[in-house]
Chain A
Amino acid sequence: MSGQILDLSQAPPPPLIEADICIIGSGSGGATAARVLAEAGRDVVVLEEGADYPGERLTQRDGEMYSALYMDRGGRTTEDLGVTVLQGRVLGGGGVINASDVVPMPPGVREHWRRKFALSELTEERIAPYEKRALADLHASRIPDAQVNRANGLLKQGTEALGLRGEVMLHNRVGCAGLGTCLIGCPINAKKNPRFVAIPLALAAGARFYTRAQARRIRYADQEFKRISVRVLESGGLRVIGQTEVRARTVIVAANAIASAELLLRSGIGNGHVGRHLMLQPQLPITAVFPDKVVAFRGIPQSYAVTHFETEDDPKHGLWGFRIEGVMGTPGMVGSLLPFTGAQGKVAMTEYDRIAAALLLVPDEPSGTVRVSSNGRLVISYMQRENHKRRTLQALREAARIYFAAGAERVIVPVAPPVTLTHPDQVEALAGVSLRVASAPFISAHQQGTARMAPSARDGALDPAGRVYGARGVYVFDSSGFPSSSSSHTMTPIMTMAHYFSDRLLAEAPAS
């Protein structure tokens, strides 16, 4: 039996869709679960709010692609505008628009989860096979040296000059042509993301994928059969053109730590932990201008990571410290992140082809919430903690030193007012940079924790099998369940855990 991808914007759905299992979200968690469960013979329906954007539909243009592929057209933010919250809204989810970094959950993090959060079931022996399968599905490999572009090469050069530890990263590309626009999708489908691995396998096993299908509410969560209210969106995804309903015995929510919590809250499902403990892992960009061309917008944008300052087994936090990774965006994105106004901004952008940029990835502890306001709107609140500011400021200084060691003319910290350094002696001044809200362009790409796992309902929203406390047959299979930062990049941990949870579900829940 072969499944199908049905675009509901093009064909009106029946008033009722029936399935054994309804999965909400088609990204790393949802697609993995769909594949495992469909291959086990379950009747699976997947609801995806976004559309299908295979390579031929990807234009490499900022305006079009951020609108098409990202939630809220790329403009989702915390309520105070302090952090831009990037979240995929496309068949295949975040894997379509991420930087293709494969960073498995460090063993120290799992140890931390067992020790601090009493998740004793998550032993190395139990999880390792699932991680191995995730790495195989991703076609994970080390990025070839020849594909480390000059911008990342400069980061590497500076890191080595200072005697720091760093590494060329693992990725999930096969046949990469170095087109440079990974963050707005790969037009030659070189990313081995869920769209091109798990989803085809799920389809082959009979799963049905509905796109432009926005799950709005899960009803009857305490009964054997649940009903999911679904809005049908027009092709651009901006307007509602119809509605339908899904009836299923089991519901798996895998719509990202923001949207999954939003759906549970909107549905009145779960305990008081739902929506709390949000980690955004806010990242801050930094740029360096070099005397000659860097052309960072070509080649793999993110291939080298400075890992020297990162620790995976901090006794209190697990993953902690920070890492620094090369990055680059298309002109619209870069222009929007630079802090200059007036003529100065144009001067800065004339150096676009001489810029190397990095992201400072600083893990956080739970510092925010997701809630639905009285008028039905999503509200993401986040308060950056002092320890996060401190580590971000240290990361700024280390990144600046690295770039100067690599020969940078200037280092620019994109805060308002802009800070420009012209000599390594000035680096320590960065300790005083203000990171106040709406002054520093923090970005979140790895949201976690809004329905964290715990052995009892007193301490979390999900049990260690991903089941929502207080509901019957409702699960969450994405990073919402992670009680602390799982990794600097969440795709691999989500795939690993979604497969593990799916196997547990198969073992525990009888087929209908």
Chain B
Amino acid sequence: MGCTLPDRSDPEGPFAFLSRRRALKWGLGAGATLLGGVGGLALLRGKAPAVAGLSVLSDHEYRTLSALARVHLPTGGAFEQGAEGLDLARAFDGFLADEHPENIRDLRRALTLLELGPVLFEGSLTTFSNLSAAAQEAHFQAWTVSDLLLRRQVAFAFRKFLSFVFYDTPQVWKHIGYPGPSLRGMP
């Protein structure tokens, strides 16, 4: 993954909290130990499909976030349009490209933690992306109400981002009764 980090104008960012949360680093450290090091992790999470054109995210991170987007904003239900097809993970990748290097590092760690969540917190041998959709949703919901602050923070941050981008998408508006910007109209 090639990534050119910009000279950022503003070192703070929406996810800066994670960099100051050493728990994230420790959580990953503990996870790596539990999994017998990087080899164990690679074995469990399997191979992710190659994705072209990413600026920041790795193929695995992209897969984790795509899976989360699909369960958080599923196709069907109240209306057909879901995250599938909108490529919210790529939108996040584009967002990250303009973030401070520390935020980029921490958000990537957060995605790895989410991927390893079932293994670290539930004793499963299946990582997040390899769970069924129902299990992924249950797992993520558990994070939103977890007693562990770090898990709530990760869930809170990704849920906010995904929902924000999804409902700012014109294809979605007709399903929620929003006729579009009052002066500018539909883009």
Contacts and interface: CB of A to CB of B under 8 A. Distances in A.
Contacts of A161: none
B177 to A, nearest CB: 3
Given A61-B187, A334-B167, A378-B11, A341 B141 contact: yes
Given A72-B14, A379-B20, A238 B182 contact: no
Interface string A225-242: 000000101001111100
Contacts of A77: 14, 16-17
Interface residues of B, number: 58
B157 interface: yes
Contacts of B181: 59-61, 181
27 contacts: A73-B13, A73-B95, A80-B17, A80-B153, A81-B156, A238-B98, A240-B7, A297-B178, A331-B176, A331-B178, A332-B165, A332-B166, A334-B167, A336-B159, A336-B164, A341-B159, A342-B137, A343-B76, A346-B73, A349-B78, A349-B176, A352-B177, A352-B178, A353-B178, A438-B155, A439-B144, A439-B152
A77 B16 CA distance: 8
Nearest to A417: B145
Contacts of A388: none
A127 interface: no
Contact of B182 (A181, A416, A437): A181
The 6 A-B pairs at the shortest CB distance, nearest first, are namely A75-B14, A335-B167, A332-B168, A353-B177, A60-B181, A343-B77
A377 B16 contact: yes
Given A343-B74, A377-B102, 13 more contacts: A72-B12, A179-B182, A298-B182, A341-B137, A341-B159, A342-B74, A345-B163, A350-B176, A352-B178, A354-B177, A416-B144, A416-B145, A436-B152
Given A59-B184, A79-B20, A437 B152 contact: yes
B183 A187 contact: yes
Interface in A264-287: none
A243 B182 CA distance: 40
A347 B10 contact: no
A330 interface: yes
B169 to A, nearest CB: 8
Interface string A310-345: 000000000000000000001111111111011101
Best-buried of A180, A214, A350, A416 by chain B (most CB within 10 Å): A416
B15 interface: yes
Nearest to B6: A239
A60 B178 CA distance: 13
A181 B168 CA distance: 13
B152 A79 contact: no
Nearest to B77: A343
A233 B9 contact: yes
Contacts of A512: none
* Most interface-central of A236, A239, A331 (chain B CB within 10 A): A331
B17 A63 contact: no
Nearest to B102: A377
Contacts of A349: 78, 167, 175-176
B47 interface: no
A80 B157 CA distance: 11
A77 B161 CA distance: 14
Contacts of B156: 81, 416, 438-439
Interface size range on A against B = 35 or more
A62 interface: yes
A78 B11 CA distance: 14
B163 A338 contact: yes
A336 B8 contact: no
A238 B183 contact: no
B183 A76 contact: no
Contact of A352 (B6, B95, B176): B176
A335 B83 CA distance: 14
B130 interface: no
Given A338-B163, A346-B73, A81 B17 contact: yes
Contact of B149 (A60, A74, A187, A437): A437
Contacts of A179: 182-183
A28 B98 CA distance: 29
A376 interface: yes
A346 B74 contact: yes
Contacts of B73: 345-346
A16 interface: no
B15 A75 contact: yes
B62 interface: no
A331 B166 CA distance: 9
A429 interface: no
B6 A76 contact: no
Contacts of B82: 346
B166 to A, nearest CB: 7
A73 B71 contact: no
A346 B153 contact: no
Nearest to A236: B98
Contacts of A214: 9-10
A355 B132 CA distance: 33
B72 interface: yes
